[in-house]
Amino acid sequence: MAKKNSSEDEILGKAYDAKLMKRLLGFVKPYKKYVILAILLNILVAGLGPLRPYLTKIAIDDKIFNGDLHGLMLISVALIGALVFQSVIQYFLTYFTNLLGQKTILDLRDKLFRHTQKLSVSFFDRTPIGRMVTRVTNDVESLNELFTSGIVMVFSDVFIIVWILGFMFFINWELALITLSVLPLLIYGTFLFRKKVRESYRDIRKYLARLNSYMQEHITGMGIVRLFNKEKEEAKKFAQINGDHRDENIRSVFYYAVFYPGVELISSAAIALIIWYGGGDVVQNKISLGVLFAFIQYTEMFFRPIRDLSEKYNIMQTAMASSERIFTLLDDQSFIKNPENPVPLDKVKGKIEFEKVNFAYNEDNLILKDISFVINPGETVAIVGATGAGKTSIINILTRFYDINSGRILVDGVDITKVDKRELRSKISIVLQDVFLFFGTIRSNIGMNNPGISDEKIVASAQHVGADRFIQNLPNQYDEEVKERGATLSVGQKQLISFARALAHDPSILILDEATSSVDTETENMIQTAIETLLEGRTAIVIAHRLSTIRNADKIMVMHKGEIKEMGSHEELLEKRGLYYKLYQLQYKDQELVLSK
Amino acid sequence: MKNLRTLKKYFLRYKTALITGIFFIIVSNAFTVYVPIIIKDSLNDLQQGIAENKLVEYALLIVGSTLMAGIFRFMIRQTIIVISRKIEYDLRQDFWEYIQHLSLRFFQNNSTGNIMAHATNDISAVRMFIGPAVMYSIDTGVRIIIVISIMSMISWEVTLWSLIPLPFLSFLVYVVGKKVHKRFTLIQEKFADLTTKAQENFSGIRVIKSYVAEEREVAEFDRLSREYLARNMKLVKIQALFQPTLFLITGMSIIIAIWAGGTAVINKTLMIGDVTALIMYLGILIWPMIAFGWVINIIQQAEASMARLNKLWSEELEIADVGEENSLVNEVKGEVEFRNVSFKYGENLPFVLQNLNLKIPAGHSLAIMGNTGSGKTTMINLIPRLFDATEGEVLLDGVNIKDISLKTVRRSIGFVPQEAFLFSETIKNNICYGKPDATESEITERAKIAQFSKDVLEFPEGFETVVGERGITLSGGQKQRASLTRALMTDPEILILDDSFSAVDTHTEEDILQGLRGFMKNRTTLMVSHRVSTVKDADKIVILDKGMIAEEGTHDELIKLNGLYAGIYNRQLLEQEIEEI
């Protein structure tokens, strides 16, 4: 930990960027009415606080000193009225500014999420998921303060100060000037304190992050610590980091310890000035005692709006940093292009043609080389090959998760780049090896919340693939909750659900990436039957791991290092004694034994 | 408050500073309450028109008293709040040193995030009790007593009337604080849902795209966002109510004072300065009354956190260590023996190892193969005592390892775990983890054996390159080779490799094995592997199946046996053939 590294220091930029601010304000536009209302309420409510010392002055000078009990009563009632009125407005003001902030960030968050849904799969490949999650959650969240207190409340603080100044000068401008002589010191002190605390807070955060990452790492690596007998040394290292965190906190205690008494001292200096200078005027009958009283109260009112204003700086700074990150994501244009005038697909028969297809994830590393083949409607093709042969890439480009480098892919004779990619995908169902189940119910996982898929269809699909039996045994059947990606379900059950999902969408073309994980014989039999049901009457591409699937396929395509090496039926290829024969020995022969038993 | 009693010993550690701090609180309050008295006297004198020459004196007294109060207030924070930070440090240190000795089972049963929450959130909550809660409760107590006594001396009637609203203030803060806490938790739950939704969507983006479910996902996300908004607004509703109510209560109190005090002035029972002083005292009382309600909440939260910490402090500790004085062996030669060893991870869990008997003479090598879950890792974890055998015993040089000090056992073992774990530090610090005083030549020599030195040459700062989060990312193979170098550095009598080359390509692996052969002469080696190429030259090969030894012998013997091992061997030959096409 000896070395300092810039990445753990929080990089904070400037507090104001006109371009970013303009874009942010664009999100407030739909709520302009709220903003205007809030500002108007602010002007009103800001004056009610400073009104009270003035009323008190009248009470003292005109009523109390004149022995006017009735008048004193009236003023007291007026004071209460002002207070209640202020409280009520304050309530609505806080409520509406928060509503404004919440609605704005809701719009922003939805817009951002909607944008992510359009981004290409390759964007997701190269972007850590955690980072994207942070953008739509925490980064958006940190703008909340800007929209609630940042924009509207700046007006509130300014108006309060203006009202106080107004009343003071109205009552007695000379005394007002004298009292205000401490103001520069107060403002300077407050902003200096803010700056120091901000710096110190940043250091504390840095040390806390260090403490956390140390703990995180050493809890994960606890075994290593023990294997190397390092408990004592590690405790010492921890003490060092823990100590840095403590010392920085103690440093920030110092700022608070100086600041609060400092503010008291400044306002007491103002009071002292009022008594000394104003007191002289009282004796000479230039001003009344009520004036002194009112001024003493005003000195105590100044502090809060100034402190609030100084806090706005932090809010702006955080907001600028977050919004910059958000807009970067929002401006990313990694889309797979849709044609402007898409050719409609209507009923797909299911003919698939690959014409001299070359494909690479990265420019120079070709994964598929010059692939050509034709699959006729209703045919099942099994693709076999070792890991890295390029089997998965065929799926990825057929569904336009990625675009190919050269060549053409045709569905029913139409180039897939000429078709709306969403329409294309809706004709194809994919069953992936790792079954991805979403948070929700069994029902929503089969129907994928598609309104075009009725409950009857969901149940019928589940019955067809044989999933219905175990689903009926769940406490809530189809409404059983799916938690943590289906952690409570077995591997076989998850597979059956994903089969039901594919069947419910009734695709013309089915792509199946068979799972390799072993299941018990009973489940295996169920899965085999389900696969047969699934493939019936559809064009299918299967990345096959099951001997039964391969045998039932119309055609077998043997891939190796991005090329098609052999093609034919199971028997034909076995006779060839080539690559397929070897793969068969390696991957499928054991299943033969099981089958023959 | 039962759980917070644990803190007693920490408080006692800072007894003197704590008592001084309490003394400062009293002194500071004495000066604070003096200021309104001065203002009262000055205004009263002004009302009688006799004060002009005394005005400077009053002004100076006001500033002087505030200054003195401020100095002591500064000292309060410098004592009590500083103590709270120090105790926080002590607590966290004790926490860490304690969990370093907890059994590894604890780490299996508790997520890292969960353990960290104890060290950060819970300790912070306790710190709030030690610092602010202690400071404000004493401050409040002292101030309320002094201020109310003085106010009553000025006018007990006005005091009584104007104090009526203030208890509501404490009550309000207490109740609202509790509600805010509850509603805030609800918000955080929704926020977690929102995060999970985004996380899940981004992870499953392929499925979503292939089922053209994007629009529906957006709608679902929007629904969650709206629920989140609704929960936020629920909190806003109380918070928005809180501040105005606070102002209303304190304002009422002051207005009552003006009205009752003013009436008294008209009736000539009080002077205007008296009323001003009363109002100023009310101002001084407001914060303590707020703090009072707040403090109760802090104490309740601290109590709950302390309970969680206390629970942790009663967790099961790591395996018993006989210590170096009572250790039967201090130098290990390297003979390893399993005698009737059975193991299970918990009371109600099935046996992972069953009645294992095996002896590896010092200087020999043993390879272990078997399917996932056959007990390979569990078996070798028993040697450095990461876990203890449930039944039977593990022996080193013929002595039960429980009778040898942990330090000696672990010092004699070089362990390369399945998942190569490196710390986010320099390569050098990682490699020399077990031997901080290693020489340059030792480091390069060992790195060469592990086939790691070539990689290091390509790193921007060689051995000084930082790895992990704050530095460069190593490939799986590089991590494994670094981890091997680290194990070799300590010159272990026994080297244990737990599938340590899974991410290393076969050629490099062969080079490593070649280099190790010289290094491991006269040392005992145990290696778990899936590759026949790794294990074939071992003195003995063991095939584990469901926690039992299924086959054992040399490569040739096992091939002849034509059982599990021979099957694996043939498959790997085929794989190699296909790879080479």
Task: Decide if A132 and B55 are in contact by the 8 Å CB cutoff.
Answer: no
Question: What is the SS3 assignment for A288-334?
Answer: CHHHHHHHHHHHHHCHHHHHHHHHHHHHHHHHHHHHHHHHHHHCCCC
pLDDT at A310 over 70: yes
Both A20 and A78 in one domain: the answer is: yes
Please report the domains of chain B, with CATH numbers, ordered by start residue: 3-313 (1.20.1560.10)
pLDDT, one tens digit per residue, over B481-538 is 899 999 998 888 999 998 888 777 777 888 888 888 888 888 899 998 888 888 888 8
Residue A337 lies in a domain: no
Element (H, E) at B366: strand B365-370
Residue A529 lies in a domain: yes
pLDDT band at A3 (very low <50, low <70, confident <90, very high): very low
Cα separation, A466 vs A462, in Å, equals 6
Both A364 and A259 in one domain: the answer is: no
Instruction: Write the CATH number for A502.
Output: 3.40.50.300
Provide the greatest CA pair distance for chain B: 121
Both A320 and A392 in one domain: the answer is: no
Instruction: Write the CATH number for A308.
Output: 1.20.1560.10
Residue A373 lies in a domain: yes
Cα separation, B302 vs B306, in Å, equals 6
Q: Does A491 touch chain B (CB under 8 A)?
A: no
pTM: 0.75
Provide the greatest CA pair distance for chain A: 123
Q: Does B19 touch chain A (CB under 8 A)?
A: no
pLDDT at A73 over 80: yes
pLDDT, one tens digit per residue, over A201-221 is 888 888 888 888 888 888 888
What residue in A sits closest to B265 (Cα-Cα)?
Answer: A64
* 3-state percent helix, strand, coil for chain B, nearest multiple of 5: 65, 10, 25
Query: Which of B82, B217, B424 is closest, CB to CB, to A117?
Result: B217
User: Do A399 and A320 form a contact (C-beta atoms < 8 A)?
Assistant: no
pLDDT, one tens digit per residue, over B239-261 is 888 888 888 888 889 889 888 98
Instruction: Quote the minimal CA–CA distance from A14 to chain B in Å.
Output: 25
Interhelix angle B15-47/B272-312, rounded to 10 degrees, is: 160
User: Do B200 and A438 form a contact (C-beta atoms < 8 A)?
Assistant: yes
pLDDT band at A596 (very low <50, low <70, confident <90, very high): very low
Both A369 and A495 in one domain: the answer is: yes
pLDDT at B352 over 80: yes
The predicted pLDDT at position A487 comes to 65
Q: Does A55 touch chain B (CB under 8 A)?
A: no
Interfacial B residues in 381-400 facing A (CB < 8 Å): 384, 386
Closest alpha carbon to B82 in B132, B12, B40? B132
- B-interface mutation test, from A219, A286, A446, A498, most B Cβ less than 10 A away: A219
User: What percent of chain A shows pLDDT beyond 90?
Assistant: 3
Task: Decide if B197 and A439 are in contact by the 8 Å CB cutoff.
Answer: yes
The predicted pLDDT at position B496 comes to 92
Instruction: Quote the minimal CA–CA distance from B207 to chain A in Å.
Output: 7
What residue in A sits closest to B386 (Cα-Cα)?
Answer: A223
pLDDT, one tens digit per residue, over A247-264 is 998 888 888 888 888 888
Strands (E), B29-151: none
Of A366-375, A514-523, B290-299, where does mean pLDDT reach its minimum?
A514-523
Number of C-beta neighbours around residue A403 at 10 A: 15
In this prediction, the answer to ipTM > 0.85 reads: no
CA angle, B117 then B118 then B122, to 5°? 100
How far are the Cα atoms of A267, B47, B149, B162, B257 from residue B43, in angstroms, in the given order? 18, 6, 21, 21, 17
Task: Decide if A579 and B407 are in contact by the 8 Å CB cutoff.
Answer: no
Residue A56 lies in a domain: yes
pLDDT at B172 over 80: yes
Residue range B136-163: mean pLDDT, rounded: 89
The predicted pLDDT at position B68 comes to 93
Q: Does A11 touch chain B (CB under 8 A)?
A: no
Closest alpha carbon to A384 in A511, A258, A498, A546? A546
From A296, A330, A364, the end of a domain falls on: A330
Q: Residue A566 belongs to what domain range?
A: 352-596
Both A296 and A402 in one domain: the answer is: no
The predicted pLDDT at position A501 comes to 86
Query: Which of B63, B81, B100 is closest, CB to CB, to A225?
Result: B100
Both A365 and A313 in one domain: the answer is: no
The predicted pLDDT at position A495 comes to 81
The predicted pLDDT at position A10 comes to 42
Task: Decide if B74 and A227 are in contact by the 8 Å CB cutoff.
Answer: no
pLDDT band at A1 (very low <50, low <70, confident <90, very high): very low
More confident residue, B113 or B68: B68
The predicted pLDDT at position A486 comes to 66
3-class secondary structure, A63: helix
3-class secondary structure, A357: strand
Both A299 and A170 in one domain: the answer is: yes
User: What percent of chain A shows pLDDT beyond 70?
Assistant: 92
Q: Does A227 touch chain B (CB under 8 A)?
A: yes
Q: Does B471 touch chain A (CB under 8 A)?
A: yes
From A330, A361, A378, the end of a domain falls on: A330
Both A437 and A378 in one domain: the answer is: yes
Both A422 and A480 in one domain: the answer is: yes
pLDDT at A9 over 50: no
Those residues whose C-beta lies under 8 Å from the C-beta of residue A120, and which sit 6 or more positions away, are A334, A335, A336, A401, A402
Query: Which of B47, B199, B201 is closest, CB to CB, to A289?
Result: B47
Both A183 and A315 in one domain: the answer is: yes
The predicted pLDDT at position A595 comes to 42
Domains contained in chain A, number: 2
Task: Decide if B251 and A98 are in contact by the 8 Å CB cutoff.
Answer: no
Task: Decide if A136 and B198 are in contact by the 8 Å CB cutoff.
Answer: yes
Structure tokens at B250: 């304190």
pLDDT at B20 over 90: yes
The predicted pLDDT at position A590 comes to 60
- A-interface mutation test, from B14, B207, B315, most A Cβ less than 10 A away: B207
pLDDT, one tens digit per residue, over A108-142 is 999 998 888 888 888 887 777 777 888 888 888 88
What residue in A sits closest to B108 (Cα-Cα)?
Answer: A220
What residue in B sits closest to A282 (Cα-Cα)?
Answer: B46
- A-interface mutation test, from B211, B317, B427, most A Cβ less than 10 A away: B211
- B-interface mutation test, from A80, A203, A268, most B Cβ less than 10 A away: A268
Residue A340 lies in a domain: no
Of B329-338, B448-457, B500-509, where does mean pLDDT reach its minimum?
B500-509
